[in-house]
């Protein structure tokens, strides 16, 4: 199985919670990723492209696996920081 997702990566939980609320209220995920994410994917609005099982760290992959396409996760913690994930595809 392959997944496609975008994310916003920040260092702390409080920032992640604030950004999650902004996305939930309708602000553009891509715009917020471009402005606030610390990941190089921010230049693409947080788009990580397609990835296979085992390519992402376990907590990130577990969150994506449970989500439906189009869903946005509550903040997920990994060794890289806090992610807000938007699942954009599965095949």
**Full domain range(s) for residue 67:** 2-90
Domains of the chain: total: 1
Task: Read off the pTM.
Answer: 0.95
Confidence of residue 7 (pLDDT cuts 50, 70, 90): very high
Residue 83 and residue 16 in contact, taking contact as beta carbons nearer than 8 Å: yes
Residue 63 and residue 44 in contact, taking contact as beta carbons nearer than 8 Å: no
What's the CATH code of the domain at 61? 3.10.50.40
pLDDT tens digits, residue range 35-61? 999 999 999 999 999 999 999 999 999
Residue 27 and residue 49 in contact, taking contact as beta carbons nearer than 8 Å: no
Look at the alpha carbons of 24, 30, 31, 35 in this order and tell me if their dihedral is positive or negative.
Answer: positive
């Amino acid at each position: 199985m392959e997944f496609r997702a975008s994310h916003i990566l920040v260092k702390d939980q409080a920032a992640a919670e604030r950004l999650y609320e902004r996305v939930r209220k309708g602000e553009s995920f891509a715009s917020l990723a471009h402005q606030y994410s610390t990941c190089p994917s921010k230049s693409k609005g947080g788009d990580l492209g397609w990835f296979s099982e085992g390519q992402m760290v376990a907590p990130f992959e577990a969150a994506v696996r449970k989500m439906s396409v189009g869903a946005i996760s509550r903040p997920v913690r990994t060794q890289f920081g806090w992610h807000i994930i938007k699942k954009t595809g599965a095949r």
